[in-house]
Amino acid sequence: MLRNTKILATLGPASSTPEIILELARSGVNVFRLNMSHGNHDDHRARLASIRAAEAVVGRPLGVLVDLQGPKLRIGQFSSPVTVNTGDKFDFVLDEVDGDALRASLPHPEAFSALKPGHRILVNDGKLAFHVEQVEERRIATRVEVGGELSSRKGFNLPQTILPLSAITNKDRVDAEFALKEGADWLALSFVQTANDVRELRELVGRKLGIVVKIEKPSAVDELDAITELADAVMVARGDLGVELPPEDVPVVQRRIVHQCRHLGRPVIVATQMLESMITAPTPTRAEANDVATAVYEGADAVMLSAETAAGQFPLEAVRIMDRVIRRVEGAPDYRRVMALDYSAADAPDRADAIAACVRKVGSLLPVTVSAAFTTSGSTCLRLARERPHTPILGLSPRLDTARRLTLVWGVVAYNGPDAENLEDMVVKTTFAATKLGLAEQGKPMVIIAGVPFGTPGTTNLLRIVYP
């Protein structure tokens, strides 16, 4: 519980039994991801019920993130696989035809209206590349840049093209309703091209779910400032991002996104291929361990496991090793110094930001064991986490949905309990919760921040130092 960086784990065939879900929670998972690209609602409903049962056993809130599939762009059918060679001419056509070595169906009219000569079409996770030479009403003439084997229904990417296509499909709307009805905490939006995609989802779900925007397209990187302003959290989705950007750009973009989110106080998740080799091996590569460590040093709120826990042979081992790497980095002598390098003040700080900054300063001067925040909406904890204080953040909320959402936030130990009624009650409830969670230490100070009058969101105006 005392890790600052959270672990987000994807559930799937390898990790869907109640027993495995409970062990994943005990091993350190803070938030569980339900991937709507796989399985049906009954599958995910059963997993969610198991998560809530595990939550009761481990005695701490567990978050649930529902990941929307988004539009799936795929080429058409082939009667059998074919090989296309670098330098060959190749056509993509709107008509439904059996593909061969000269052409393939591209059943997406929006691509024909948006592609321009000079753009690229990437197929099968970028393994094949085509340079667009001419665009007609029903035919796109290309030249093969990188050849290879082509077969039915392979996905394609258009890294230089903004498609006139909503990020939210009819399936996504149904899945979003499922997430609302079943009490999920976060909703991840795929295929984000512009800030308007985020606005569209906000109109659909309002503030009932936290919106995680997945940055996986170059156009989203171009609109990063506007998108992060609208999002509740951001995911660096390095899968498609790594297909559509040159590999040397991905680490730079990751760092930019993490820095921007830290500046704004938005939780940020680093995802995809973090411990990829552990799908089939019981230990990670040294490079993978270093990849997790880099995200922790950058100050990411969470790191995510995908196939490692969803379909891998060693889901529990993957979580336990990720937990160990995080703890080792956060205990390193230079961890705080490196974290401080990326700190920047809020653009338009208010009273709550000032109090949060004071908490960080107090924690650097006194042997504070915990910084506690009473919060209804979670905003106070987000302000405090943005400061990256030296102590654990005890997030006390009377709302269970708020406590669950805070499980994604850096440094926060979420606690669901009744709100304080007055100043004396505030101290009593903080002391009780901190002692119960092992965060209090006799004779050492705790810092408490809250808003008076109690129970009124947006009124953070009080900082108090107490001794249990």
**Active-site residue, 214 included:** yes
**Active-site residue, 202 included:** no
Cis peptide before 453 (omega within 30 of 0): yes
SS3 361: helix
Contact partners, residue 354, CB within 8 Å, separation at least 6? none
Structure tokens at 202: 């906000």
Question: In degrees rounded to 5, what are phi and psi of residue 287?
Answer: -65, -40
Longest dimension (CA), the chain: 78
Catalytic residue among 3, 6, 33, 429: 33
Catalytic residue among 60, 214, 388, 405: 214
User: What distance in Å separates the CA atoms of residue 66 and residue 212, rounded to the nearest whole number?
Assistant: 10
User: What distance in Å separates the CA atoms of residue 158 and residue 120, rounded to the nearest whole number?
Assistant: 6
**Active-site residue, 351 included:** no
Q: Are 31 and 62 in contact (CB under 8 A)?
A: yes
How remote is the C-alpha of 118 from its chain's centroid? 33
Catalytic residue among 26, 52, 74, 143: 74
Contact partners, residue 104, CB within 8 Å, separation at least 6? 75, 76, 78, 90, 91, 92, 93, 97, 150
User: What distance in Å separates the CA atoms of residue 97 and residue 3, rounded to the nearest whole number?
Assistant: 54
Question: In degrees rounded to 5, what are phi and psi of residue 390?
Answer: -80, -10
**Active-site residue, 337 included:** no
Catalytic residue among 10, 272, 376, 402: 272
Residues classed as catalytic: 33, 74, 214, 272
